[in-house]
Structure 1
Amino acid sequence: MSVDHDIQSKRLDAINILDNFSDIHPALTMKQALVASERCLFCYDAPCIQACPTQIDIPLFIKEINTGNAHGAAKEILSANILGGSCAKVCPTETLCEQVCVRNLKEQAPVNIALLQRYAIDHLDSSQAYPFTRDKNTGKHVAIVGAGPAGLACAHRLAQKGHRVTLYEAEKKSGGLNEYGIAQYKLLDNYAQEEINFVLKIGGITIQYETALGSDITLQELRNTHDAVFIAIGLNATNKLNISGEQFNGVEDAIDYISQLRQSTDMTDLPVGRRIIVIGAGMTAIDIAVQSKKLGAEDVSIVYRRNQESMGASDYEQELALKHEIHFIFNAQPYQILGNNKGVTHMQFKQTQYDTMGKLVATNDIIELPCDIIFKAIGQQFNIFPLANKDDPRPKLDKRGRIQVNSQFRTSLDDVYAGGDAIDGLDLVVEAVDHGNKAAAAIHQQLQD
């Protein structure tokens, strides 16, 4: 069966694009915030606090909103999570704090913690003094590699303690995942950069852009010129399908396209396929599928080799995809990609099933789907290249191939720490902030000894 390649820009006009990429969760009004805050039971030993990686005192900040002190609520949030604004928008609260909310029963919904957190941050009074102070300069200088959530959180905590911090960032902008990897409809209007500007107001932090570890500077050089080093370079190697046809034009990395979308000044100019296949089952798969529909794709399918219960994306994210008429195909394992000199035309999958031992196995039944573009959203790996200089001692890696750290986030090298997606974890923005906070405390302690 022949397939005409149908990849083009301007599938939708600017007005439709603007409408499609408006805020997915409009901010609460003051009245709505007061009503929502009334539902919080202000539990003693609240389970929501324990479920938050950064341990924000959720009942306290909600109580402050309820008493009309949104500014105080924002200060409470930011003291635990300096990126509390973006986390309120991108954090999967439905599987963290809101999931364990005592209100989360069949007959009622949990307290809307995410929107209340956003309300508080939005109402931080900028006319008042910066809510954090910087201690007297210690004369110590810390290098942080990567200006994403973990690096920024670590930098802010260290700067508060009076240490000088230099962030070494490989890209042209700071922000990491928040700037380059989050769905556009979740973080609008240059929010990531505005949040970074707020972080930098503490003072004592400088950023060197387009300076990549391994090519522009080595770990040993950083160790020689700084008192400690924190590695927060994230995941930077996309997993491969390792099947025939993966080399065809139209087989794309979902994260790369999301980055292109987020950096675009005119989303109508982005090339969009008519029939799109997304391989994966996590939040990135949902993000690229939904955004493809919002850009004008007609038919988008998410294909996953396991069953629906095994999906990494939360129930909320799955419902979001269904609202955008995304098709889900389960128990289908990538087999091969078909195409011609113009690019991909079809993708074949082998149906899978669980055997009597509960192991997933492929059958000989083939499913074939027509497509213009295939997005790979099957996860990323830690790329050892930045640490591969043969003349440098390098930190040990764990069984997953990420940097091995102890409970203090220290690597096998005494003066080198690591956090964020570069180490084993859940790969969440809020968890990366927690790593940065805790690593900063450990580094500060070491510098005091």
Structure 2
Amino acid sequence: MPAEEGYHEDGRSAATSVPGNAAAIDLDLERTFSHLSSAAAGRCEAKILLNRFVEEHPSVGYTQGMNYVATCLVLRHTREGHCAQEVAYQQFVAIMGHLSGLWSDGLPLLEPAIDCYSKCCKKYLPRLYARLVYLHVEPLAYLPTGWLSLFSKWLPMDCVLLVLDLVAGHGLHALLAVTLAIFHQYQDMMVQMRTMHQVLNFINRDMQLQPIEADKLISSTTMVWLPRVQRTVGSEVDAAVREACVRSARKISSSPPDDQRTVEDPELSASVGSSRQSAGSTGLPAGEGEGEEPSRPPPASTGARAADGEIRSPTANSKPHTPDLLSPMANGTACSDRHRTVINKQDTADHRTTDGGSSSAKVPTAVVWDGDWRIPQEIERLKVQVADRDETIRSLRAEMRILKQERRDAIEMQMKCVRAKDELQRQLLGEIADLRYRLNDEDS
């Protein structure tokens, strides 16, 4: 998330306030790798690096998470107590050039990157993907923690220092590849977890403490996962990076600093604004009618239709039934008033009109069907679940085919090695026999 929550009280972006950035940098660096003495020694160099970047790239500014990247780069390029400051800064600029959309205003690269990750995880790690979906673990709950800190909250420091070179060279492709390689490493452990909190605690807290071979992680990322990512979502990744850069440039050029939005969810503000507007237009005080849906079925909102086709107003006691879409029915809970039928048997009744007056008109017997709207939604939800499970099954079968092909390739390679070994042994035996023959000739 941005420094000082990304925005200040006056509505200006953090990128436009250099003193605010400096204070945020100082505050974050004090908490960065506080358990490492080497990080404390490189804190001054990391501060210089970040302040220089903010000054030279005000459109990106400073965001929480950059402090981890800068500190790791300082540690990466420190030899015998001396830091190659310019090398570290150039590599930091290279990483930001690839991934600035993860830190710039609005995080425009985060959502496309998560979509690409989900597609790759579903294809190459179907067991893990199915388990996370079953436990309702959303990628947004754990990916920003690792990505915005460039894996320094997921991996030990020796692994992070090696990963930096990959990310600086391949950008978002390497970010996705390293993520998949990490989860492939811990897949067997994670699929045995039973709750969402257990998975999130492991990823965001305990995974950093797990032993992992840095060389094995880098080699698997370079040889296996990076080609898979480039083959599966390479074009989408490139398009997302370009779009994030265009959106950032467009936002900077079109919006002056004083008119920039404050931190709030645009969808939330829109819904709040619309609800306030509707409450004001209907004359209801704030808080009334909050549990009602904005749209209602025509029979309930316009009155019962009589046999002669004339629409009558409902009686005072026959209130239209409005289903609650947030009720437990969304989880499959049975509803006792499903398919409720309201039968009005009053021949004469004094009932109110819509403007608050009264009327003594006769209302013939009317039958109103107030069906449960949630039945189609429940069917659609079940269809989506079935489609997801079918897709998971197809992914598992595809993975089985890949594993079988890899096994066949391994067996074939093993047979080639055996044949080469036999051929080499025959050649050596022939040379030994030839040497013996020559020695016998010389002795004779």
- What TM-score results when the alignment is normalised by the length of structure 1? 0.25
- What TM-score results when the alignment is normalised by the length of structure 2? 0.25
